[in-house]
Structure 1
Amino acid sequence: MATKYDLSLCIMTLLLALLTLLSYATASHPHNKTSSPFDFLEHLKGCHKGNRVKGINNLKKYLERFGYLNYKNHSRFNNDDFDDLLEEAVKTYQINYQLKPTGKLDDKTVSTMMIPRCGFPDIINGTTSMLSAKHRQHHGSIHTTAHYSFIPGNPKWPPSKYRLTYAFAPNTRSDAPAAIARAFATWQKNTHFTFSKTSNYQSADLKISFQRRDHGDGVPFDGPLGVLAHSFSPTIGIFHLDAEENWSVGVKPGAIEMETLALHEIGHLLGLGHSSVKEAIMVSGLPAGVKRGLHPDDIQGIKALYNV
């Protein structure tokens, strides 16, 4: 005959087993992953010209945001029709990211579009530097192609401003300055620029701050795992990071590695556009849990821009 102690022990064992199962189910359930502003793209896989699917309007907004679409007829922009202009925009995106230019939202295209990314557009005022930036490189008998790009108009710092100061806004999180300083040091080692930190935010050449989407000054942030940061071309010198992101110093699952992101944005501050090389720091997307350094394509690009 079972004693009260035996029954209590049995109940406790069953409860522990149930709690373990519930914890496993919660951790592995797909609905518990961090949502992203780009999640709507998953629903659009397989869409192509001629389709009318709810959410295509959001795809148009996505492509307009990064420079690929400019509808003169707003009624065409505000509907869910996959029209010829959208097909051409998708093809241009696919070419920029070295995907097969079908104009269809295939798995690889959607997966690329869903990667958290920099808010700097790939195409500015109808000019895409990514498509035109396939520069022939000659290394003895070996010929390679570089895919770095410059911001349209090739803005850059004048020779009198090769020594740049940078400063952080008062609201900057405590772990950011050291990580971003390492990113500046990496660019300094590979360029003719020198960077020094100053406490005078207003007079600094480069101003760094964390902003939220409700800031009210047109900052294009949209919540975690969407647009991560954005910066301006020379000689504006402004660099904003999304305060809502899950940032990390070093690789951490589900977090955006801050030094890597800073390396990318400093490239824009110096005049580089986006690269189509997936391993380059100047590629637009940065998945969570990934750390990168400068790629030869990045270094070739900055040296070509400044003729050094």
Structure 2
Amino acid sequence: MAFKIFHPISFIFLIFILLAPLGHAKRSTPSDKTSSAFDFIKKLKGCHKGNHTKEIHELKAYLEKFGYLKYENKSQATDDDFDDILESAVKTYQENYHIKPSGIVDDATISQMTTSRCGNPDIANGTNFMQPHGNKHESGSSNIHTVSHYTFLPGNPKWPPTKTHLTFRFSPNYPVSSVAPVARAFHKWDLATHFTFAQVGANQNSDMIIEFHRRDHGDGSPFDGPGAVIAHAFPPTDGRFHYDGDERWSIGSVAGAYDLETVAIHEIGHLLGLGHSSVGEAIMFPSISSGQVKNLHPDDIQGIRALYGR
């Protein structure tokens, strides 16, 4: 069952949640349609270099947000000209998502760009962290070269070697019904790493904090309403993980809603220092469809062990 998060929560509503955690849920169905901040991309179908179309400045803003584009001339960033720089950015995006790099806003590109996703960028400081990199390992007497797609956050931030037990807490108004999925997500990372995790009280100090927020919530990365960006997290040792409270959230697979646990596994990966992966099946792949449930993938586990060792 899917539900919307409303806060601040009144005392009466909190009692209601405690007695019936999912009772307030509004059931999603496949026919549910919610507009998304990414829907403008659909109007750009077929656009390519040389076009001048009304929403192109929004496409530039989209690609800039996720690290693909940066204009030195601000007027270029806000005009509607499909220029060489934008074409190059579209091609890079297509390459990262295994789409033919035509530079044209085609159906496959629209489908991927309009899929809800994590708010953390794919490219930072000009470095494309989603491009595959080679990792060599030996098997017997022969050298084997394999390609891994996991990435680390800019600067390879990680928790200190002495910090292997990490605590997490939920904000005081965090819905009780949403605690267990996040706890399960931490447990899955526990099994795959040298870390152990423990929940502490909402008013205690902790290494990490999980919260729901809406729109501009003061961290420099505002949410954008239903759909589009659904969550984000900060690198070690910041510890902040935010869900978008305007989304429809669920426990498990529900059409029209996002699985709390799946998104938590992804965002905890960022809290530990992992960046995005170009492997579609990996938990660290940037986007997720409503109703989708995922778990840790070998690429994720290789990445976290490459970062910290085990």
Within the candidate set 219, 234, 237, 1:235 is matched to 237
Unaligned 5+ segments in structure 1 are 1-26
1:204 and 2:206 matched:
yes
Residue 285 of structure 1 aligns with which residue?
A: 287
The code of the aligned residue for 1:60 comes to K
For residues 104 and 213 of structure 2, the distance between their equivalents in structure 1, rounded to whole angstroms, comes to 35
Within the candidate set 295, 300, 306, 1:304 is matched to 306
How far 1:69 moved relative to its partner?
0.9
Largest Rg, 1 or 2: 1
Residue 108 of structure 1 aligns with which residue?
A: 108
Cα RMSD for the two superposed structures: 1.8
How far 1:54 moved relative to its partner?
1.1
The code of the aligned residue for 2:110 comes to V
How far 1:206 moved relative to its partner?
0.5
The code of the aligned residue for 1:260 comes to T
How far 1:123 moved relative to its partner?
1.0
How far 1:97 moved relative to its partner?
1.4
Q: Residue 220 of structure 1 contacts residue 227 of structure 1 at CA under 8 Å; is this kept in 2? A: no
Residue 195 of structure 2 aligns with which residue?
A: 193
1:226 and 2:228 matched:
yes
For these two proteins, the number of residue pairs brought into alignment is 280
Q: Residue 57 of structure 2 contacts residue 79 of structure 2 at CA under 8 Å; is this kept in 1? A: yes
For residues 139 and 201 of structure 1, the distance between their equivalents in structure 2, rounded to whole angstroms, comes to 50
How far 1:307 moved relative to its partner?
2.4
Q: Residue 149 of structure 1 contacts residue 274 of structure 1 at CA under 8 Å; is this kept in 2? A: yes
Residue 295 of structure 1 aligns with which residue?
A: 297
CA displacement 1:103-144 (0-9 Å, x = unmatched):
111111111111100000111121222125343566667654
% identical equivalent positions: 57
Structural mapping, 1:1-308, within 5 Å: 33-131=33-131, 133-136=133-136, 143-201=145-203, 203-308=205-310
Q: Residue 264 of structure 1 contacts residue 282 of structure 1 at CA under 8 Å; is this kept in 2? A: yes
For residues 62 and 300 of structure 2, the distance between their equivalents in structure 1, rounded to whole angstroms, comes to 26
Unaligned 5+ segments in structure 2 are 1-28
How far 1:214 moved relative to its partner?
4.0
For residues 235 and 222 of structure 2, the distance between their equivalents in structure 1, rounded to whole angstroms, comes to 16
For residues 275 and 66 of structure 2, the distance between their equivalents in structure 1, rounded to whole angstroms, comes to 12
Relative to the length of structure 2, the TM-score reads 0.86
For residues 217 and 237 of structure 2, the distance between their equivalents in structure 1, rounded to whole angstroms, comes to 23
The code of the aligned residue for 1:213 comes to R
SS at match of 2:269: helix
Q: Residue 132 of structure 2 contacts residue 148 of structure 2 at CA under 8 Å; is this kept in 1? A: no
SS at match of 1:156: coil
For residues 171 and 80 of structure 2, the distance between their equivalents in structure 1, rounded to whole angstroms, comes to 41
SS at match of 1:86: helix
SS at match of 2:176: coil
Q: Residue 134 of structure 2 contacts residue 146 of structure 2 at CA under 8 Å; is this kept in 1? A: no
Distance 1:136 1:86, change over 3 A: farther
How far 1:205 moved relative to its partner?
0.2
For residues 160 and 240 of structure 2, the distance between their equivalents in structure 1, rounded to whole angstroms, comes to 17
CA displacement 1:241-279 (0-9 Å, x = unmatched):
101110000100000011000000000000000000000
Residue 14 of structure 2 aligns with which residue?
A: none
Q: Residue 30 of structure 2 contacts residue 255 of structure 2 at CA under 8 Å; is this kept in 1? A: no
Q: Residue 250 of structure 2 contacts residue 260 of structure 2 at CA under 8 Å; is this kept in 1? A: yes
For residues 125 and 173 of structure 1, the distance between their equivalents in structure 2, rounded to whole angstroms, comes to 36
The code of the aligned residue for 1:151 comes to L
For residues 243 and 203 of structure 2, the distance between their equivalents in structure 1, rounded to whole angstroms, comes to 16
Which structure has more relative contact order (CA 8 Å, sep 6+)? It is 2
How far 1:200 moved relative to its partner?
4.7
Q: Residue 269 of structure 2 contacts residue 284 of structure 2 at CA under 8 Å; is this kept in 1? A: yes
Relative to the length of structure 1, the TM-score reads 0.86
The code of the aligned residue for 1:180 comes to V
How far 1:191 moved relative to its partner?
0.8
SS at match of 1:228: strand
How far 1:215 moved relative to its partner?
2.9
The 10-residue stretch of structure 1 (203-212 or 193-202) with the greater mean CA deviation from structure 2: 193-202
